Amino acid sequence: MPSTTRNRESILADIKTTLQGITTANGYDSDVKLVEQERRTYEEVERSRMPWIGFWPALTQPPVVPYPFGQYAKILEVEVWAHVATDQDPTTEAGRTERIQRLGRLEEDILVALDVDPTRGGYAVDTLQVAPASTDEGVPDQVQSRKRGERGSTGSLRIAFRCSFYPYD
């Protein structure tokens, strides 16, 4: 009988593989450059690595959800953070619009990708979004950007998901 840890890690591995598949070659609107199982702020991610997606387990709850035949499912909450960058001047309407559009396209790509197989390769009962996505359009720090030789701006989004899974097969 597999352990809870193995099922949990298999779900996380499936999420990573799924998010890595977000490319225009696969029919998405975004070309994700890097997916990591860690949390980073947009200041910690090089612009050349954006769009960047990070995810991590926020919480694994004890079995409390009853399923048929007397089994109980555990709940794994996963947070997904993503950062995008633009080359547009962040102080212009065009720069702000481009940032918002990139965030919107990436959000939709993440939702579609994770909905393709909500069972996470058969290890989960389901995968559900538990809260609306929240975005941070970023505050252009022009001094820091100039120091790094960059122009443009970044933006971020956060989406929370819940995966239900059986502690044992």
**pLDDT the model gives residue 131:** 80
**pLDDT the model gives residue 2:** 45
Non-local CB neighbours of 44 within 8 Å, separated by 6+ positions? none
Of residues 57 and 154, the one with the higher pLDDT is: 57
Q: What is the CATH number of the domain that holds 45?
A: 3.30.70.1700
Alpha-carbon distance values, 160 to 53, 94, 168 (Å): 13, 29, 24
- Whether the pLDDT of residue 1 is over 50: the answer is no
- Whether the pLDDT of residue 14 is over 80: the answer is yes
**pLDDT the model gives residue 145:** 52
Non-local CB neighbours of 163 within 8 Å, separated by 6+ positions? 11, 75, 76, 77, 78, 120, 124, 125, 126, 127, 128
Kindly tell me the sign of the dihedral angle through the C-alpha atoms of 138, 47, 39, 82. Answer: positive
Number of H helices, E strands in the chain: 3, 6
pLDDT one-digit tens code per residue, 59-95 = 666 655 555 555 667 888 999 999 998 887 777 888 8
Name the band, by pLDDT with cuts 50, 70 and 90, for residue 149: low
What's the CA angle centered on 98, arms 97 and 104, to 5 degrees?
90
Of residues 165 and 9, the one with the higher pLDDT is: 9
pLDDT one-digit tens code per residue, 24-42 = 999 999 999 999 999 998 8
Strand partners, 54: 36, 81
Domain that holds residue 143: 4-165
Q: Does pTM top 0.85 for this prediction?
A: no
Alpha-carbon distance values, 117 to 18, 44, 120 (Å): 9, 31, 6
pLDDT one-digit tens code per residue, 112-146 = 999 999 999 998 889 999 888 887 765 555 545 54
SS3 100: helix
Which structure tokens are listed for 107? 């959000």
How many folded domains does the chain comprise? Answer: 1
